[in-house]
Amino acid sequence: MTMSLNDATAAVPLIESDVEIRTPDGSADACFARPAKGSAPGVLMWPDIFGLRPAFREMAKRLARAGYAVIVVNPFYRMKKAPTAEQGSATPTEQLRPLARALNAETHTADAKAFVEWLDRQDAVAKDWRMGTLGYCMGGAIAFRTAAAAPDRVGAVASFHGAGLVTDKPNSPHLEAAKASAEFLVAIAENDDERAPKDKYVLRETFAKAELPAEIEVYPAAHGWCPRDSRVYDEAQAEKAWSRLLALFSRALSERR
């Protein structure tokens, strides 16, 4: 029985487990949180450069309590099992950049397809409801590519302080996202906007041309403000972003495909 989406914030009992997901390049470790009863829309969560860790497990469970079947993945599984940042979000990013640089548009797309297919094989995932995907920091660009990789499945995409959303390459994430069939939420950090002030206009123009609904907003918070363990965590702005995410999912994932 598929869960009602009328109350997207209703708390429900949940199940959390560690899972291994086969991909073309190996086995990816992930956390799977879902309502204890029935089936629910699937959600694929991409973490920031600090990877799969307790803060993201908590976010996955929070979404599951709102009525979604959520996997948060270790994007660096090819190199290392989670935790990939030994000191969590206090780990110097210089130590983690080699992990991020080892990934590219091809690995993003291949992983996205494998993870979406895995979700669709789970009894806890409602196959007749569209999926959502969200990403933080580097995960924002991967969420964009996920929507392009599975346009028939992904109906909602969210990026929080996303990095590299707009580039000058022909396969830039924003151009890939324009191939999707989804609604977008793009929450931009204030200091990211200062570094690349034109990106928000490029995103708005791209989504408008593609006739894809998109909410694009610069938040008065620093890059990385959403995860609770972040050194720049901003509770008020993180809760605002979360409320917009729930509104997006409630709206875009509320109709059967």
Residue 244 within a domain = yes
pLDDT of 140 over the 60 cut: yes
CB half-sphere exposure, 179, CA atoms < 13 A: 15
Closest CA to 129 of 177, 207, 67, 178: 67
Q: What is the pLDDT of residues 94-133, one digit of tens each?
A: 999 999 999 999 999 999 999 999 999 999 999 999 999 9
pLDDT in tens, 70-91: 999 999 999 999 999 988 888 9
- What is the overall mean pLDDT for the chain? 94
**How many domains does the structure of the chain reveal?**
1
Q: For residue 5, tell me if it sits in a domain.
A: no
Residue 124 maps to a domain: yes
Q: Are 140 and 116 in contact (CB under 8 A)?
A: no
Residue 90 backbone phi and psi in degrees, to 5? -85, -5
Residue 164 domain-assigned? Answer: yes
Q: Quote the pTM value.
A: 0.94
Cβ atoms of 133 and 44 closer than 8 Å: yes
Q: How confident is the model at residue 254 (pLDDT cuts 50, 70, 90)?
A: confident
Among residues 214, 191, 227, which one has the least CA distance to residue 89?
A: 227
Residue 10: per-residue pLDDT: 52
33 located within any domain: yes
Cα dihedral 238, 34, 7, 53, rounded to 10, equals: 0
Residue 257 covered by a domain = no
Residue 191, exposed/middle/buried by CB under 10 A (0-12, 13-18, 19+)? middle
Residue 53 sits in a domain of what CATH number?
Answer: 3.40.50.1820
Q: Answer whether residue 2 is part of any domain.
A: no
How much is the average pLDDT of 184-197?
98
As a whole-number percent, the residues of the chain with pLDDT over 70 amount to 95
User: How does strand 42-46 pair with strand 69-73?
Assistant: parallel
**Cα–Cα distance between 157 and 171 in angstroms, integer?**
18
Indicate whether 1 belongs to any domain.
no
Predicted local confidence at residue 256, as pLDDT: 67
DSSP state of 189: E
In this predicted structure, the answer to whether residue 2 has a pLDDT above a threshold of 90 is no
Range(s) of the domain holding residue 56: 14-252
